[in-house]
Structure 1
C-alpha cells in the first residue's frame, strides 16, 4: 500500500520551533488533517504550498507565547547549565586520567606547533603591509627583452624618479634607496665600525614609509645633506643610548655626518631592515659620482612611487616607458609597477637587494601547521568515540529524566572546550620555552607578547578550530544515543563508528608519513647540493673585499698586498677578481660582437674579470684552448667563454681563435672553460664571458694549506691593518658563502624535521591511547586465550595487527601524495636529485616500527597480565 503523503519536513520543524509546546499538538494535528484533505482536492504540490501558508498564519502571539511553569528547563547555554557542564567535564577528566593526559599532551603540542608556524606564516604573508599607504605604494620594475628571454631588474636610474614626480600627475610622492655595493666604514670617536646593513635613502623616505621615531622626528630627520638616521639597535651599539646619539657626529669614510634621528628597529615583516640610513646627497664622494648617478645608463636605485587615489598603476608604467623612449632612446626597455606588498614573494628579478620569501615554503609550512592541529584533534575524536560506551548509561539516564539533545551537545562541547583551554595553557608554556630556538631557525625576533592582538587572534583562532575539529563529532555521537538501547545494554557503537575511527588513524599516519618522506627528500636534495661538484675548488679559500676608494685609485697598492699575501707561510695561492666566484651577479649586454652574430640578437651574459692565477687557485677546467697568461699584452682584450656561452651565442667550431668584441675591446676567444656553478643550483648555468681587466678587481682570494688557517688569518689581518688602518679586517670563506645560498632550504629542512617529529609523536600518543583502550576492552578475551594456552607473542600479534594494517594502508595512500608534493618543491631547483624508491620504503618502515613500538608496550603488558585477574573482574 502506498504511504500517505506527508507535509514538508522543514515546515514541520519550523512549526515545532515557533509554536508554544502546550499548543503544538492541537495546531499540528489540525494542520496535518487539513494537508491530507487538500492533497486529495488540489494535488500534492499545491497542498504543500498551502501548508506553508497555513503554518505562517500561526505566527501570532497567542500561538507563540509559552505557558509559564515552575519546572521549566533552562536554556542549555544558561550560566547555571554551563557551570554544571564544567563540573561534570572536570570530574570526567580526573576520572579518565590516562586518556585525559594523552589528549591534553597531544592538543598542547599541536597548538604550540601550529601557533609557532602561524606566527611565521602571518609574518611572511603580511610583509610591508603595515605601512599606512602600502596599498598605493609601488616599486618600479624594468624589463629588457634579451633574445627570447626577458630580464627583469628592480633598480632604476636616479633621474627617472625626478621625471615621474614632475611630469606624471598621478604620482603623489617618490622615494628611492640603494644599498652600498660594499660595506661602509663609520668612525665613532676612536672606534671604527664596518657596516654592512646600511642604506642610502631619499629625503622623502620617511614620508612614504612608517617608522617609529625614538629621537628626532620624521619631518626634519633628513633636512640637511649631512644627516644620519640610526635604528635603536645601532644607536645602543655606537653610543650606549638612543637619546645620547642625537646630534652626535660620525665620520663615514671621509664625510662628516650628524645623527638627526633614532628610529625603532624595523619589524620582522619589513623589507627595509637597515640599521644606518644615509641621505643620497651625503653618499657622493665627488662631483663625478654625482654626475654619473644622473646618467640614464646607471640603474642604481630602487624607485618607489606613491600614487594618488584612483590612479592606474598600468598607465603610470606606460608613461615611465615613454620616458625611456624619449631620454634613453631605448625601444626594448619597459617599465611597470609592482605593489609594495608583492615584492617579498616576487622572484622574477635577475637581482634584488631586498630579502625574498618562498610562497611555496609558506604554504607548505602553513599546511603542516594545520595538519598537526588536525592530527591532535583526531586523537581527541578517536579516544572520545572509543570511550563512548562507558558514558552511554549517563546519556541514557539524562535523556529519560528530560535532558534534551541540545543540552547534552552543550555538555560534551563544554568538555572539549575545557580540555582545549587547558591545552592552550600548556601550549603557551611550550611556546615560551621553544620560541628562542624557533627564532634561531627562522632568523626572526618573535616574542610571546600577551598584549599583542594578533597573537591572541592566532591563539583564539587555533583554539576555535581545535574545538570544532575535536568536539563536534563526539558531541553529536554521544548526544544522539537512544536511551532505550543504552539501558537495555545493547551495543551503542555500530561498525560504522569503528570504521570511522580507523579512517581517522589512517589519516593521521598519512599526514605523518608525508612529513617523514618530505624530510628525507629535503635532506637528500641538500646533501646533493653540498656534494655536487660546482666545477671549481672552494675548500680552504677565503676572500676579502678591498675598499672602493683605495682600490680604484691605487691598483699598485692592491698588487703589493697580493704579493705580501703570496709570501706568507701556509698560503697556497692568491688571486683577484671583480666579483666573488659564488653568487656572481655582474652581467653585461649590448656590446658583444663576433663574426656570426645576427643583428637582431642582443644577448646578456654574466661577466667575470679574472687574472692568470685564478685557474690554479680554483682549479678551473678548460674544455679547449688556453688560460690567460701573465705578460701577454693582448690577453687584456682576449676572452674565455664558458660552454653555456658557446651554446647560447651559437658559435661554430672551431671556437678558439674567433674574433670577439667585449666591453669595447676587440680580441680573440682563447679558450672555452668547462661550465661551473657561479650561482645557486636553483638556476641553470648562464652564459659567461671571462676577461682580464685588473683595474676592475676589488676582491682578493687566498687559498690556504690544510691546517694553516689560523696562523694565516692572523698574518693577513696584520698586513691588512698596515695597508688599510682605518678599515676593519673582514673576510669570508667560500664554503660559508656557498652555504648561504641554501640557507632558506636548510632552515626549512630543519623546521620540517622538528614538526614532522611532533606530528609523529602526536600520532603515536593517539595510537597509544587506542591500544590501551583496546587492551582494556579485550581483557576477558585475553584471559580466556591465555588459559587455553596462547603465548605472549600470539597475544601481542593479535592486539597489534589491526594497527599495523592501518599504518600499511596509510603508507599506500601517503607515498604518491608525498611524491607529488616533493616533485613540485624540487621544481625550484634547476639541478635536483631524483627521488629514490628507498626513501619511500624507509619512511614506511619507520612508520611501521614506530607504530609497533607504540602499541607493543600496552600489548605486552596486557599479554603478561595474570588471566585470573581479568576473568575474576568479569
Structure 2
C-alpha cells in the first residue's frame, strides 16, 4: 500500500513538474533558513547547560544609583568574598575571580629572554573553589591543593602543550611560568579544557592569594576595601540545596551596609548586590559578559525564530495554495478511486505522503544549503556555529520534527478537502475546486494576502533600519570623526618619559596635522563621572558630571565648537583646575546664555574648579543615549592613566594618494623605537563610531536576507497561481481574443484580482509595521523619522515585483494563438 502511495506521488510530480518545483524550492528556502536559525539558537541556548547544579550557581553583581544616574557592574568590591565565607549562611561555595586582562608570558628555557608570548588572554586569578563550581577533568594535580599557595598556576592541557610542547603532563608540574615579568609561578595542576559551549574560556589559573602577596599586584587586590567596585573582581557562589536566592541576596546587602554604611552627604545614592543566575550569564545585556565574552540577546534569538517561522509559513502557504488550486484537476482521480473502493483515510494518507515526499526533497536541498548560508553570514553568525551533521545528532532530530510538522501544516487541509469530494458530484463534473466561487478560493486569497503581509513587513522594517543606520553614521555628532587616529600607550610605561619621546618623534611626521593627548575620545564606550556641586548663593545643585581628560589641542583635533570663554591650557592643572563644560551642563546650572557660566566655581574633589569655557554639545556615546552634563579638564600630573591616549589628526589626503598609509607607517616606526616590547595598534576613529551600530548593521543584513527570501517565495507562489489561472481560463482567453480583446485588456483581466490582494495586504500591514517600527525606534534617544515614503516605497516595490512576476505568464497567455485553445470546441 505504501509503495503504491509513493508510486502515484512520483507519477503526479512528473505530470506537474512546474508546481512541484515551486513547492520544493519554496519549502527548501524556508527549511534551510529554519535549519541555520536552529543552529544559531541551539548554540546560544546550550551555553553552560552542562554544569552540575547550575540552577544553584549565581554571579554576584552590583547595581547603583548615583545622582539619579543608574548603573550596573558585573563585578563587586574585592572585600566581599572574604566576608561571604565567614558571615553568610546558605552558601556552599564562594569562588572569587580576578580578570586581569592580556599578559606577557615567559617560559624560561635556558636562554636569556626565554620563550615569550605577548598579549596572552584567558588568564585569571582563582581559588580552588572555582573548580568545585565549574566541572573540569583533572589530568595532574588536585583542586584541593593546586591553588592553595601563592605563585601557583593551573593550566589546561591545550595551553600546557603550548608552553611545554616536549614534556609529559606529570613532568610539567613544578615548571616555572612568568607573567608580566613580575608574577613568577610554578605549575601545580593540569586540567582538560571545557569542551562544551561555555563562557568560561580560561586556560591559565593563577592562585588568587598570589594577588594579595605580590608587590606588583597589591594595588589591584584591595581585599579589605569596601568602597571600590571593579568589573575585574567577579564572585560566583553556589547556594545550599535548601537556600533561597532572595534571602541570600538580602544577606549580601545587609553585609554591604554593615561594612560600607552610606554617608550622610551621599543621601539618595544607593548601592546593592544582585544575584544573577549562571544560566542568564550568556544572555546578559545589563552587566556585560564575563571578561568581554560575547553575549547573546534573547530578543534577537526569538526574532530569528520568528523569521524562521514566517519563512516556513510562506513555503507552506505556497503548497496549500497550489494544491487547492489544482483540486479540480484531481477531482476525477478522487471520484474514480472512491468508486473503486478507496476510503477517505486512504486518500488522506495518499495526499500526506505526497506532501511528505516534497518536504523530504526540500530538506535534502536545505541540508546542502545550510553550510553555504553559514559561510555567507560569517560576520553575523557567532563563531562556533557549524553544520557538522555527523557530530550533531540533534540536527537530525530537529529535521525529523520539521519534516513531520511541515508535512502536516502543508498537507492536512488539502488532504481533507480533496478526500471529501463526493464521487457523484465529481463524475457529473460539478466540482469547481479551482473556481472563484469555491470555498478553497477564499482560503487561497486569505493565504496570499498573508504571504504579502509578511513580505511587505520585512521590506518596511529593512528600509527603516537602513534609514536609522544612515542617520546615525551621517549625523553631525558635534565633533570631527574623519582622518583621526587613536593610539593608546602601554600603561606599564606611564611612569617613564617614553610618552614624551614618542610624541616628539611623531610630531615631526609631515602628514600629521595636530596631536592631542588625553583620555577617551569625545564619543566612546568608556565613561568616567563624579558628583560635583554648584552653589549660586541661594541653592546647592548636585549633579553627576562626566569627565573627559584632554589637553589644549583636544578641541582643535576634534573641531569641537567653543561657544563661550576659552580653551584649556597646560597651567589649568594648578589649584582646583579649570572646566570647559558642555552646553547641556550650562543649562542644568541655569544659564541659557553660555557666556553667563564663565567664571563660576564648581566644588570638585574637595576643591574649587572654575568654568573657563563652554562648548557646543556633542554625543558622548551612540545615539541610543542622550547627551549628558560633561566637562573637559586637564588630567592631574599624577594621574597618567587618563593621559595615555594619542589623538592624531591627519592632513587631508589627495585623491588616490597614500599619505595616510605613509603616516601610519612612520608612526609605527617611531612606536617600535620607543616601545620595542609592545605591539603597535591603532584605530581610525570613524571606524570606532561605526562599531556603535554593529548590532543594527547585523539586523539590517538579516532583514535584507529575510526580505529577499520572503519576496522570492511569495512571487514563486504568485507565479504558480498565475500559471494555474491562465491554464484554467485558456478557452475564455481564446474567446475574448476572437471577440476583439487586446493583449493589454487580457493581461489586466488576469492580473487585477491578484494585484488587489497585494493592495489589501499593504493596507493591513501598514499600521502593524508602523507600531513595530515605533517600538524599535524607542531604543534611540536621537532617531530618524518614520517617513511616509517608507510605506509607499515598500508598497510600490512589492507591486512592481508582483507585476514583473505575473507578466511572465499573463503576457504569454495573452499573446497565444486562440486557434489552439478553441480547436477542441
Shift in Å at residue 333 of structure 1?
1.9
Q: CA, structure 1 residues 630+433, in 2 after alignment: closer, same or farther (shift >3 Å)? A: same
Secondary structure of 2:754's counterpart equals: helix
Q: How many angstroms apart in 1 are the aligned matches of 2:164 and 2:510?
A: 40
Secondary structure of 1:564's counterpart equals: helix
1:128-167 aligned at under 5 Å gives the runs 128-167=48-87
- Indicate conservation of the 8 Å contact 1:185/1:727, yes or no: no
Q: CA, structure 1 residues 156+432, in 2 after alignment: closer, same or farther (shift >3 Å)? A: same
Shift in Å at residue 648 of structure 1?
4.4
- Indicate conservation of the 8 Å contact 1:544/1:730, yes or no: yes
- Indicate conservation of the 8 Å contact 1:230/1:275, yes or no: yes
The number of residue pairs the alignment matches comes to: 789
Q: How many angstroms apart in 1 are the aligned matches of 2:757 and 2:166?
A: 62
Give the equivalent residue in structure 2 for 1:498: 441
- Indicate conservation of the 8 Å contact 1:680/1:741, yes or no: yes
Q: 1:454 aligns with which of 391, 394, 412?
A: 394
Secondary structure of 1:514's counterpart equals: helix
Give the equivalent residue in structure 2 for 1:763: 714
- More displaced 10-residue stretch of structure 1: 518-527 or 641-650: 641-650
The normalised TM-score by structure 2 is 0.89
**2:271 paired with 1:333:** yes
Q: How many angstroms apart in 1 are the aligned matches of 2:553 and 2:167?
A: 49
**2:573 paired with 1:627:** no
**2:244 paired with 1:324:** no
Secondary structure of 1:323's counterpart equals: helix
1:34-45 aligned at under 5 Å gives the runs none
Q: How many angstroms apart in 1 are the aligned matches of 2:162 and 2:718?
A: 53
Q: Which runs of 5+ in 2 are unaligned?
A: 108-113, 264-269, 654-658
Give the equivalent residue in structure 2 for 1:638: 578
Give the equivalent residue in structure 1 for 2:228: 298
Shift in Å at residue 807 of structure 1?
1.0
Q: How many angstroms apart in 2 are the aligned matches of 1:635 and 1:621?
A: 26
Secondary structure of 1:464's counterpart equals: helix
Q: 2:787 aligns with which of 836, 846, 860?
A: 836
1:382-416 CA deviation, whole Å, 9 max, x = no partner? Answer: 01101111111121122223222222112211111
- Indicate conservation of the 8 Å contact 1:775/1:862, yes or no: yes
- More displaced 10-residue stretch of structure 1: 558-567 or 102-111: 558-567
Give the equivalent residue in structure 2 for 1:702: 648
Shift in Å at residue 538 of structure 1?
1.6
1:165-564 aligned at under 5 Å gives the runs 165-180=85-100, 183-187=102-106, 189-195=114-120, 199-210=124-135, 222=147, 225-227=150-152, 250-254=177-181, 255-257=183-185, 260-261=189-190, 263-264=192-193, 270-273=198-201, 278-281=206-209, 286=216, 288-289=218-219, 292-300=222-230, 301-330=233-262, 332-349=270-287, 353-450=292-389, 451-493=391-433, 494-551=437-494, 553-554=495-496, 556-564=497-505
User: Whose helix fraction is larger, Structure 1's or Structure 2's?
Assistant: 1
1:711-790 aligned at under 5 Å gives the runs 711-790=662-741
- Indicate conservation of the 8 Å contact 1:147/1:603, yes or no: yes
Secondary structure of 1:140's counterpart equals: strand
Q: 1:569 aligns with which of 493, 510, 513?
A: 510
Shift in Å at residue 220 of structure 1?
6.7
Secondary structure of 2:598's counterpart equals: coil
Give the equivalent residue in structure 1 for 2:605: 663
Q: How many angstroms apart in 2 are the aligned matches of 1:126 and 1:863?
A: 57
Q: How many angstroms apart in 2 are the aligned matches of 1:598 and 1:166?
A: 49
Q: CA, structure 1 residues 443+739, in 2 after alignment: closer, same or farther (shift >3 Å)? A: farther
1:582-601 aligned at under 5 Å gives the runs 582-590=523-531, 592-596=532-536
- Indicate conservation of the 8 Å contact 2:79/2:225, yes or no: yes
Give the equivalent residue in structure 2 for 1:32: none
Secondary structure of 2:51's counterpart equals: coil
Give the equivalent residue in structure 2 for 1:24: none
Q: How many angstroms apart in 2 are the aligned matches of 1:457 and 1:770?
A: 34
The normalised TM-score by structure 1 is 0.84
Q: How many angstroms apart in 2 are the aligned matches of 1:823 and 1:246?
A: 60
Give the equivalent residue in structure 1 for 2:110: none
Shift in Å at residue 145 of structure 1?
2.8
- More displaced 10-residue stretch of structure 1: 846-855 or 248-257: 248-257
Secondary structure of 1:830's counterpart equals: coil
- More displaced 10-residue stretch of structure 1: 797-806 or 258-267: 258-267
Q: CA, structure 1 residues 232+291, in 2 after alignment: closer, same or farther (shift >3 Å)? A: closer
Give the equivalent residue in structure 2 for 1:38: none
Secondary structure of 1:865's counterpart equals: coil
Q: Which runs of 5+ in 1 are unaligned?
A: 1-80
1:235-263 CA deviation, whole Å, 9 max, x = no partner? Answer: 78878899899667554321345665465
Q: How many angstroms apart in 2 are the aligned matches of 1:580 and 1:92?
A: 68
CA RMSD of aligned residues (A): 3.0
Shift in Å at residue 512 of structure 1?
0.3
Q: How many angstroms apart in 2 are the aligned matches of 1:728 and 1:176?
A: 31
- More displaced 10-residue stretch of structure 1: 831-840 or 795-804: 795-804
**2:43 paired with 1:123:** yes
